Amino acid sequence: MSAVVSLQNVHKSFGSNQVLKGVSFDIARGQVVAIIGQSGSGKSTALRCIDRLETIDEGHIQVCGHQLDGGKVDLEQLRKDVGIVFQSYNLFPHLTVGRNITLALRHVRKLPRKTCEERARQVLETVGLLEKYDSYPEQLSGGQQQRVAIARSLAMEPQVMLFDEVTSALDPKLTGEVLKVIEKLAEGGMTMVLVTHEMAFARRVADQIVFMHHGQVWETGGPDILVNPQTQELQDFIGNGL
Ligand code: ADP
Ligand code: MG
């Protein structure tokens, strides 16, 4: 049982809309999994189930030793173990970059001020923005703001990071700088799940690709499936994109 994240036969409906129809995949420590697929195929829902932002109807999910189906879940500990970053970075506009990062450390973790500030500087250095510690979000580009959001998540020292299309709102140049940060985290051994439309990036960084189609894992395997898709659906999805 070495999987850090394990989904087994996960089902999830919203009303009569069956969004996940028996999704299964495992992620080992230090692995990077890229979830790809058309809009509406259930990628975000699958990701949100891992952080228990959604509950599931059937199946099993285990994340960092937390069993998320049935019984009680220690949500506070789960949210410590799992970091999630979305397309919209949601920084507090009235707080400096440094304060955006230290806020949860101070008030949720209750760590001493000095420890929080040191950790904020450390994670800002990781994302290459140490010099922005005292800046306000509006003084930063979209890409820089997203890197701050990633830093804020890293400051909580998660065991697993989830990224949901974090570059979708960014132009290509800013996308590149955010992807570089994610790639660096991968090289550092961070366990990650990336929902992404960046196929070349997925192929380069991911150990495993999960192609979702109509709420199912339609095809999965190493990055080579992006070059040699086994199903017509994956072939159609990729098109001539690579
Ligand atoms: P993807 O991320 O692959 O685009 P999603 O997981 O966001 O797909 O959505 C899959 C389906 O689930 C869509 O039909 C969407 O409308 C529906 N859905 C997602 N979240 C909710 C929700 N909170 N309430 C109702 N329907 C939802
Ligand atoms: Mg989505």
What does the pLDDT look like over 88-146, one tens digit per residue? 888 999 999 999 999 989 998 899 999 999 999 999 999 999 999 999 999 999 999 99
CATH code for the structural domain at 3-88+160-239: 3.40.50.300
- pLDDT, position 125: 96
- From the alpha carbon of 38, which atom of ligand 1 is closest? 3
Best residue among 45, 48, 87 to mutate for probing ligand 1, ranked by most atoms within 8 Å of CB:
45
Alpha carbon of 220 to those of 15, 48, 191, 213: distances in Å? 28, 20, 18, 11
Ligand whose nearest atom lies closest to the CA of 88: 2
* Kind and range of the H or E run holding 20: strand 17-28
Helical spans, DSSP H, in the chain = 43-50, 75-81, 97-107, 113-126, 142-154, 172-187, 199-205, 232-238
3-state helix, strand, coil in the chain (%, to 5): 40, 25, 35
Tens digits of residue pLDDT in 162-209: 999 999 999 999 999 999 999 999 999 999 999 999 999 999 999 999
ipTM > 0.90? yes
pTM: 0.95
Contacts of 94 (CB under 8 A, 6+ apart): 136
- Is residue 91 within 8 Å of residue 100, measured between CB atoms? yes
Q: Which residue(s) pair with 7 in the sheet?
A: 25, 61
CA 126 from centroid of its chain's CA atoms? 17
What's the whole-number average pLDDT of the chain?
95
